[in-house]
Amino acid sequence: MQPSASPLLAGRTALVTGGSRGLGRALCQVLAREGANVAFNYSRSTADAESLRAELVAAGRRCWAFQASVLDRPALGQMVQALESETDGIDILINNAGVGQVVPLALMEEADWDRMMDTHVKGAFLSTQAVLRGMIRRRRGRILNISSLAGVKMMQAPVHYSTAKAAMRGFTESLAKEIGRYGVTVNCLAPGVLEEGVSANLPEKRLADYLSHCALGRVGTFAEVAEVAAFLVSDRNSYMSGSTLIVDGAV
């Protein structure tokens, strides 16, 4: 992993929730390539987390991996405290942690709904709250919330997933208004269908229908979304806040 000629994020410290696999892993890799020191949390796969941490350290970046749920307020507090004690503070937060499940509303259990909303929405709330005081104190920060095309356009997708992802847009807009005076920006990134993750559960017929409406005629990659994210949390993106950017190949 070679650094770019002009790193976007040199000297910054970034925290990515749900960072050990999938899009989260790509986010960590691209942020590190762009000069950031990267911390991430994960829930289960210690092997994935350790391989990513080792990769980023080998590339010359500081990296921290924390096994902690985004729903565990004390653990999040300890994670942020540890990072702030070892760095000049957390400059970037990417709320990426999430879950996927394909089930029709008529067959959905209450626990299914709660798990989806808790992980995406409450997790973003708790993670943001944990880092926000430090950003306000330093009067600097970048927060990026990962939504989905299913949260901003009417399309066939699990109702609880679409609802949770739509909530991320509202969270972004209201928080941007609240904390902009402190020099902290808040934006939202809504990817379309990607190579893996939730998209891998799409039935073949629905995927074909999606591709028939996609101007680029293909699904996106984690790396492509991560490249956009790196710009959004950089100082080169200094006047965008409260916005939701769709990355879907023109559906």
Active-site annotation, residues: 161
CA dist 61 and 162 (Å) reads 35
Measured CA distances, 194 to 76, 120, 175, 183 (Å): 29, 18, 27, 32
Q: From CA 91, how far away is CA 98, in angstroms rounded?
A: 22
Q: For residue 155, which of 193, 109, 112, 188 has the smallest C-alpha distance?
A: 193
Q: Can you tell me the distance from the alpha carbon of 158 to that of 170, in angstroms, rounded to the nearest whole number?
A: 19
- What distance lies between CA 14 and its chain's CA centroid? 11
Token duo for residue 226 = 């991560």
Distance CA 90, CA 102 (A): 35
Q: Is residue 181 packed enough to be buried (19+ CB in 10 Å), middle (13-18) or exposed (0-12)?
A: exposed
Q: Three-class SS of residue 211?
A: helix
| Backbone φ, ψ for residue 214 (5° rounding) | -90, 120
Q: What is the CA radius of gyration of the chain?
A: 17
